[in-house]
Amino acid sequence: MKRLILLVLLASIVGTPRVWGSGAYRYQFPSEKVSVKEWNTVIGVIQGHTVKEGETFLDIARDYGLGFNELEILYPDVDPWIPRVGTRLLIPTQWVLPPTSHYGIVINVPEMRLYLFYPKSQLVRTYPIGIGDVDFETPLGVYRVISRQIDPSWTVPKSLRQKYGTAFMPPGPDNPLGKHWLGLSRRGYGIHGTDFPWSVGRLVTHGCIRLYPEHMEQLFQQVAVNTPVEIIYEPVKVGFKGGEIYMEVHPDPYRKIKDLKSHAFRVVERMGLSGSVSPDKVISAVEHRDGVPVKVGVLMKPLGRPSHALSRSGPGDHGSPLPPGSHSQVVTLSAPPRP
């Protein structure tokens, strides 16, 4: 609680201007070519919001480009449907960049968030997402975009026909795929909009990734066929800003990690940062696991060789995000998707 109060006070000071979660942010991966104070893998700013009459967490989250989960885990004791009017909330529009090897689309399942990298301009956009329920986990791996479709129809998989009462759903407002579809090379899976926006930031799908309609429209315009898509599972992210080390910890929704505290220290060790962080601050970050980046250490001296989870390899050559305003071909679906 003390930590949350301090964060809210900080938001009231530095969080007045809005920085939307779907905006483009500049980053700088660790490199021997730049000083450690120029390393910047923490994007966005913490903001503040005063609850207004009639607002719910769903409304506030969408207004700031967040998923429902991002407010829910930060305020577990606040009623998300009737938060008290006048309450000052921290808006967690700041994120540590996730690990990436291909610099295209990166989806980090535990935080329920998608990142779209523009490596040539060193910019990144980020969007909240809905993911597969515990019985229909979103599949991890490295894939690529193989199709793009506007107003997709949906051939309902046999396993879902009883639920939806039909074998085929035409385009329209009741189609759970929404208005835009990006098909993945993993058969039957894709990234799409939704007819139920309040499902973003929840474990609700049958494995696909869904976005708010307004975010999916923007993403669709930026992504070409063959763009790499990395779907990872990393509840502990470590980043750099101004020579300081930050850690962002999320819950483990699929219960894949036996001991989150030990995992956090392994991440730190793998990045060569064991001597630069405070163990107590790492433990505190894990215990809170509220998705807010917190300072856990300082880079006292340059690393011998930049060791971090963000530079395992350079940008891939299997496609890249389109520059703003660009378009690529639209092709048909190759398999019945799972919404």
Annotated catalytic residues are 192, 208
- Element containing residue 282 per DSSP (H, E): helix 279-288
Using CA atoms, how far apart are residues 87 and 284, in angstroms rounded to an integer? Answer: 25
Which of 65, 58, 68, 71 is closest to 22 using CA atoms? Answer: 65
Question: Which pair of structure tokens corresponds to residue 107?
Answer: 């989806």
Which of 41, 40, 51 is closest to 91 using CA atoms? Answer: 51
CA distances 54 to 48, 71, 80, Å, are 18, 17, 11
Characterise 217 by phi-psi region: left (phi > 0), alpha (psi -120 to 50), beta (else).
alpha
Which of 217, 180, 196 is closest to 130 using CA atoms? Answer: 196
Please enumerate in sequence order all residues whose Cβ is within 8 A of that of 140, keeping only pairs 6 or more positions apart, or say none.
Answer: 109, 231, 232, 233
- Dihedral (CA of 152, 138, 232, 57) sign: positive
Using CA atoms, how far apart are residues 337 and 339, in angstroms rounded to an integer? Answer: 6
- Element containing residue 155 per DSSP (H, E): strand 154-155
Give φ, ψ of 6 to 5 degrees: -65, -40
**C-beta of residue 96 within 8 angstroms of C-beta of residue 248:** yes
Using CA atoms, how far apart are residues 190 and 29, in angstroms rounded to an integer? Answer: 28
Could you say which DSSP state residue 36 is in? G
Give φ, ψ of 93 to 5 degrees: -90, 50
- Element containing residue 8 per DSSP (H, E): helix 2-14
